[in-house]
Structure 1
Amino acid sequence: MSLTDVLELNKTEMFAKIRNGLPVVQRTQNLLDCKDDLLFAWHAKDSCLLVRNWRSSLAAKVNVQFQTLIPSCFVSLEVDRVLASNEGSLVALSGPRGVVIMELPRRWGPDGYYKEGKPVITCHSFGLDTQLFLKNPHLEVRQVRWHPHSVSDSTLIVLLNNNTIRVYNHSKLRHVWQVGPTVLRSGANNSLCDFGEVAVDFDIAPAAKPRVTEPETAGNNETTLDKSNKTLVAAKSLPKQERIEWPIVLLRENGNIYILMTAVDSENTRLQGPITITPQAHDNYGLESCALMIIPSLPPTLVIAESNGKLHHALLMEADATEKSFSEVDDFVLIEPAEYVVHVLETVKLELGISASGTEKGGDNCPIYLKRDLINELRYFAYHNAGLHAITVSFIAELQRYLESESDEDRLELAASASAEYILCTKFDSSETVNAVFGLALLQIPAGMVLLLGSGQVISLKLVIDAQLLVTPNENKPVDPEVSQQESGPAFVDTIKSLLQRSVNQPILADKLSSPSAQESYELLNQAIEVLREQYLKRHDLVRAAFTRHINQIQLKKEQQLQEIQNLEQERELISERAHKLAERFEEISYNQELLVRKCNALMQRANASLPNNVIAERQFSQEVYRLNKVTQSLAAGLDSVKKTFNKQRYHISKTQDDLKKNAYELPEKQHRTITEILTQLTEEIQRQITDVKRINKIVGI
């Protein structure tokens, strides 16, 4: 398995087919997209969409086939952007001269392919405003985004270079919003392009608080005449309604930022701007602005990219008071006072390629494209003609910590600076040869990325979801503020991190379209060796020295602690011996104390009995008590002797009864039955004679 192709996509038939039909023009575009476990790739030569299950490739399954999705309509435009919808039901194929929507089929089967793995599928597709682009040869598409609040997952927002935004739902045009002055063209000259008043990018911010609309009235509150009843009926006012507005942040080429407040299903829009940018800078923030992206933090984070490699990180916050526009250039566009303000926190300068001498090349300008990382909201990616960067915005984590904190004394300090890592470099010589990024797709669960370069090479890498996962668990434990204040210096882990922190990293060098010369290869090797020495090996030596010092300190502390432990063991033995002696002494003293108490009581009784002033009654009472004590003792002795005699007699009686039971004579059953019958007859005869005697006595009269 290659280190730069963990999914081994270069060997697949799908990318071999794409490699044979790549566009000739080398400019940055995005022909890849990923939704769940499916990887989409546009094949320009056959004008079709190829789909592959990338998770099956990661699981090392054999015979993982790809599917070919053919649009039902003819796609004549040059596609430079593939964008799947939020739910994965539609795919937008965008190019400078139009947009085509392709409906994706249903998925079923064991591996979740479209139509149970059918190799070629014709999908229903339709173009958006095809006649509009045919009639306007200068009209171009600048940006395409799916609306996040679309219930049917079919609302597409398209920004054109004439400062208009067109909203589509499936194939129907819903709204046309003017977001800037009308671009007037006279031949090849542009009246506004030279001033940078054309919108180049937009993004959708999180939904704003609901806005209460004005009450609408039926018939404009006028009285109407009912012809049937000839009575006047007053129109009733409709109740107020709350409408959720989605701020659409627009970026113009001159760096000005506008916000379009609108709902998805509303014709009414409110354009605000240009938004005040603080702190003010002498050279402005975006004279060559080319891209805009919003990270949905609280407040939202704006990323503004310039073609010279600068990235501005700012916060979009609500203004204390609305500000009116100071540069209205079109009388036909109504601009409201701005309710927001943009505060720039930091600026990151990207290195657009590395030169053979190891210094940063000056004057290299190329469009920069931004892509959010959906797994880690602190990170996003910037790709361009010279490769790929990964940027981590550190102050977002501080914002989250501050919002989740329940302490009233907690303070917000956005001191952490962003970090930019050069992951892939495709330009490392002074030639004009460009190996642009043709596609970037971010994979989820597990996290990874797939890049398609202009040379046809495919790079697939695994990504760390969060850099904090690499930190030891002890660092994430809560620290007592009092203990932290008592610490004399920074933690050792922080010291090592600061020593290992580097300003320049050695990116992955992509294969070039043409083999470099020996001189260029030698200079590039020297530059790589210098970076490794200065930014890697040297810092590792510093870390090794820091570890040596730390280990020596730990050993000294260990020896000291062992000596202290030995002293404490000796003191514990002494204390144990003393405690044992004290316990024995305490028991002896307690016994002696008890004897003394008894002696004192006896002496008190004798002294009390020998007192000369003792009365006769008390002396007689004491004698009577003494006599009763003796009588009681004699009675107790007699009672014991009686109990012994009683127990002896009861024993003899029980023994005698047992002997009688043993010596008792028992008649045989036949004799017992005969005697019983004789006795029964005698009883009946006696009873009969008694009856006769009573009868005779009655007769005689006795």
Structure 2
Amino acid sequence: MAGVDNWRTCLNDQPFCKQLRENNAKDSGQKRYSTSKGLTAIQGGDLYVWDSFSCHLVFYNLKNLLPECADRERNQAQILLCSNAPRFEVEFLTFNLTGSLVALWGKGGITVLELPKRWGRYAELEGGKPSISCKSISIASHFFASHKGAGLQQVLWHPGSESDTHMAFLTSNGILSVYNIQFPDVPVQVIHVDSQEPSQSASCISVATALGEKTMGFDFGPPIQLSRRASFSLSSQMDSTTVWPAYVVKGNGDMLVAYTDLLSSSPVKLAPQGPLLMHPPAEDNYGVDACSVCCLGETPTVLVIATCEGKLHHCVVLPSNSPESQTDSDWSASAGSSSQFEGAPDVSLYVYESVELELTLTTAANEAEDEFTCPIRLHKDAVNSDWYHCSHVAGIHTVILPWLDSLETFCYDDGTDLKDLPEQQECIVEHLICTKPLLSSPPSPVLGVGVVREASLGTFLLVLTSDIHFVSLPLSTSTKYKLSTPVMGTSPRLIQSPLRSLAQEPFHQHIAKILARKSTNPVLKSAKAASMSSQECFQLLSRTTQVFREEYLQKQGLAQQEIQKRVRILTQLKQQQQQDLRDLDNSRARLHESAQELAIRYEDCQEEHETILRRIEAVMRRLQARNPVLSEAERGMKKDLEAMEEQLDNYKRSLHQLRTKHDYQTRQIKKSEVAAASHSLKNSQVSQVRSVLQQEGEDLSNMLHRINQLKLDVGV
């Protein structure tokens, strides 16, 4: 934690943070901010903060805080000026998927700021200029001018935009609009979430608004495919289209589904479905003060519905086949029956679990006081898909759904069984920051929440408090361990032996479950104007002591008892196994002795067996010899011997002929050698013939010489 504290201190000591605090003091921001905001945004390791007093965006690269970057020539923040600064109060920053556009929006309008390119020595914006003028576009200005009574509730970039330039926003009068920033005043699609058209007059209040049934927020779910009707399939090449459902929550807790389309030339017009049935039903419809909704997962979709009382409902979206749902959505189906595409399937919400957040640190003795309520905003985690964060006036909570991965695995894999679903697995809630420890404490809302995800910086939750101080908290390592540890039974294909499926969960997981905390002591970050009496300080101390006693000491005692029990069991098992090993050694010695005895007996039996075989053969020979009749083998042998005798006579005659011919040939060879010897010359004769031939050769050479001489003379 020392490195984290140093990082937080270094960040808060930066010049741009000091300037933000000075501007906040000039603008009296602590008095204006009564609800949580989203004035910060984080893209990897880049921090963006909106300065409400100067109406510009501040950019700072968090890598500049690292020790190896301390010697850079310049590590100051950069100011992004708006070419068309928003005239309304900016409350939230929302980046698109590619990080090239950021939406600055509040209750009164939307402005899109186009970020400059990153280049330069340290990949800074526009090479590291101190101030950069950026192009800004006002979105749907005509719409907000004509609907002044409707406040902007939610702005999201559309996930189905191929160019990443489409955005959708929801207003309190029940209008869901989709715009392309390339055509900022022309809507691509407009959906009236309520069944009736909203009033255009600002002075006229709708019945839904009067009853507190205005729309509060929405979130996009995974896309679905719509098939074309048979009457239109022949006239078009597209047999299906993709639509993105938008889950809209109302203040009374009702959930509706509106379908947006960006791929078709003419958007598919499907009336919103709803209100969706929630199972099991509740008398209060799971709260009548819903404030926000968040969509997690893909198959199946999990919706998180938050209420101002601090309750969170985790609902699974599943197809509905009940007659009640068919009746409630008849008006939706009839409205879409004239379309060339089939209507979307009816769905219902199945509440998996509900959890209540601890907004203030009051103890049970103070339950008689008035309950504290505030709007809660839900933020998806940029690193883990099964995490989300809750920001509100009283601080920050982080919620983890460890059963979401098991549920998705069950839905994707057809070979899984119902027993593979997580059993008695609850969500994990961590209270990270508390800005309102007591009911009497002044409000100190959170102004920004973001997850820093950078290899060199690590993974941190960066929070901006109302006094413009950044608080960085590392994500819980214990929670990561629980989520990364596989649950027994979730991977049945990896189990080779059927006996292993009967094994219980590992002991370290059992201890981790015992030590799991349901409540924590958050970081206190209340307003500077807060002052507590001795009694209130004692209440906080009592609550903190109670949490440490219940969540730490008692659970550690239970874990100690489980470990001691486990040690006793393992000791008994070890003693039994050692006794079994000794018995096995004795059995092995006895088996070895028995094997030696059996080997000796086998050798004796083998010798006796050979002796008996020899005696049997001798008896058989004697019996056969005394038999007066020749056996078939003997008769065959007799015939063979007779045939061999005849062949021997033939061989003798042939051999006599060969010897006679050999003698004759020998005599002839000797006679020819004698005749050849009688006709040969003697050595003396050979020498005389040789001398005569030499003399004649010399005479011939002399005659040739004379002839040649005569030819020469005649020529002269």
TM-score (norm 1): 0.77
Aligned to 2:602: 586
Match of 1:347 in 2: 354
Q: Which residue of 2 aligns with 1:529?
A: 545
Contact 1:183 1:191 in 2 (8 A): no
What is the distance in 2 between the residues matched to 1:614 and 1:244? 103
Q: Secondary structure of 2:149's partner?
A: coil
Q: Distance in 2 between matches of 1:274 and 1:570?
A: 76
Corresponding position: 1:510 with 2:521: no
| Segment drifting more, 11-20 vs 203-212 | 11-20
Name the aligned partner's letter for residue 341 of structure 1. S
**Residue 297 of structure 2 contacts residue 404 of structure 2 at CA under 8 Å; is this kept in 1?**
no
SS in 1 for 2:315: strand
Name the SS of the counterpart of 2:125 in structure 1. coil
Matches within 5 A, 1:37-436: 37-55=45-63, 57=65, 61-62=69-70, 63=72, 64-130=75-141, 133=144, 137-170=148-181, 171-175=183-187, 176-180=190-194, 181-183=197-199, 187=203, 191-212=207-228, 242-264=240-262, 266-267=266-267, 269-279=269-279, 280-320=281-321, 323=326, 339-355=346-362, 362-407=370-415, 410=418, 415=423, 416-436=425-445
Note the alpha carbon deviations across 1:415-458, whole angstroms, 9 max, x for none. Answer: 43333222222211232411211000123354332111112221
Q: What secondary structure is seen at the aligned counterpart in 1 of 2:224?
A: coil
Q: What are the equivalent positions in structure 2 for 1:538-617 lying under 5 Å apart?
A: 538-602=554-618, 604-605=620-621, 608-609=624-625, 611=626, 613=628
Amino acid at match of 2:578: L
Distance, in Å, in 2 between the alignment partners of 1:580 and 1:412 is: 53
Amino acid paired to 2:13: K
C-alpha contact 1:213 1:243 (8 A) present in aligned 2: no
Question: Which structure 2 residues correspond to residues 412-491 of structure 1 after superposition, within 5 A?
Answer: 415=423, 416-444=425-453, 446-463=458-475, 464=477, 466-468=480-482, 471=485, 478-479=494-495, 482-483=498-499
Contact 2:137 2:184 in 1 (8 A): no
| Counterparts of 1:186 and 1:50, CA distance in 2 | 35
In terms of mean alpha carbon deviation, does 680-689 or 180-189 score higher? 680-689
Q: 2:436 & 2:692 partners in 1: Cα distance?
A: 145
Question: Which 5+ residue runs of structure 1 have no aligned equivalent?
Answer: 218-235, 629-679, 693-702
Structure with the bigger percentage of helix: 2
Kept after mapping to 2: 8 A contact 1:353/1:386 = yes
Provide closer, same or farther for how the CA distance between residues 267 and 10 of structure 1 changes in structure 2, counting only shifts above 3 A: same
Amino acid of the structure 1 residue aligned with 2:298:
S
1:398 to partner: Cα distance:
3.2
CA–CA separation in structure 2 for the residues paired with 1:313 and 1:298? 15
Deviation at 1:508, TM superposition (A): 2.5
CA distance 1:470–1:518, shift in 2 (3 Å): farther
SS of corresponding position for 1:503: coil
Mapped to 2, the partners of 1:688 and 1:110 lie a distance apart of 112
CA distance in 2, matches of 1:240, 1:618: 97
1:295 Cα deviation after fit: 1.5
Distance change (3 Å), C-alpha of 1:357 and 1:404: closer
Q: Deviations over 1:37-63 (max 9, x none)?
A: 322111222222122233554676325
> Does structure 2 conserve the Cα–Cα contact (< 8 Å) formed by 1:184 and 1:190?
no
Question: Secondary structure at 1:28's aligned position in 2?
Answer: coil
Cα distance in 1 between the residues matched to 2:232 and 2:627: 120
Taking the aligned partners of 2:502 and 2:238, their CA distance within structure 1 comes to: 59
SS at match of 1:45: coil
- Structure 2 residue matching 1:577: 3-state secondary structure: helix
**C-alpha distance in 1, partners of 2:139/2:518?**
46
- Contact kept in structure 2, 1:395 and 1:417, CA below 8 Å: yes
1:188 and 1:363 map into 2 onto residues whose CA distance is 33
Question: In the aligned structure 2, how far is the partner of 1:278 from the partner of 1:585?
Answer: 82
* Conservation of the 8 A alpha-carbon contact between 1:165 and 1:178: yes
Structure 1 residue identity aligned to 2:595: A
Q: Percent identity?
A: 24
Structure 2 unmatched runs, 5+: 645-685, 699-716
Query: Which residue number in structure 1 is paired with residue 515 of structure 2?
Result: 500
Assess, with a 3 A threshold, how the Cα gap between structure 1 residues 543 and 424 changes in structure 2: closer, same or farther: same
Distance 2:506 2:496 in 1: 14
TM-score (norm 2): 0.76
Q: Residue 460 of structure 1: CA displacement? A: 1.4
Instruction: Name the CA distance, whole Å, in 1 between partners of 2:471 and 2:348.
Output: 40
Letter paired with 1:601: E
Give, as a single letter, the amino acid of the residue that structure 1 aligns with 2:312: L
Q: How many residues align?
A: 615
Residue 294 of structure 1 and its aligned partner are, at CA, apart by 1.3
For 2:214, give the aligned amino acid.
V
Shift of residue 592 of structure 1? Answer: 4.3
Q: What is the rounded CA distance, in whole Å, between the counterparts of 2:278 and 2:567 in structure 1? A: 48
SS at match of 1:297: coil
SS at match of 2:442: coil
- Residue 671 of structure 1 corresponds to none
Superimposed CA distance per residue, residues 568-599 of structure 1 (whole angstroms, 9 cap, x where no aligned partner): 11221222222223223323432443344345
Displacement of 1:304 after TM fit?
A: 1.3
1:215 to 1:404, Cα distance in 2 relative to 1, 3 A? closer
8 Å CA contact 2:255, 2:275 repeated in 1 = yes
Distance (Å, rounded) in 1 between the aligned partners of 2:439 and 2:634: 131
Residue 614 of structure 1 and its aligned partner are, at CA, apart by: 7.5
> What secondary structure is seen at the aligned counterpart in 1 of 2:450?
strand
- The one-letter code of the counterpart of 2:355 is V
Letter in 2 for 1:349: E
Kindly report the root-mean-square deviation, in angstroms, between the aligned alpha carbons of the 2 structures. 4.0
Match of 1:664 in 2: none
Q: 1:402 to 1:353 in 2, by over 3 A?
A: same
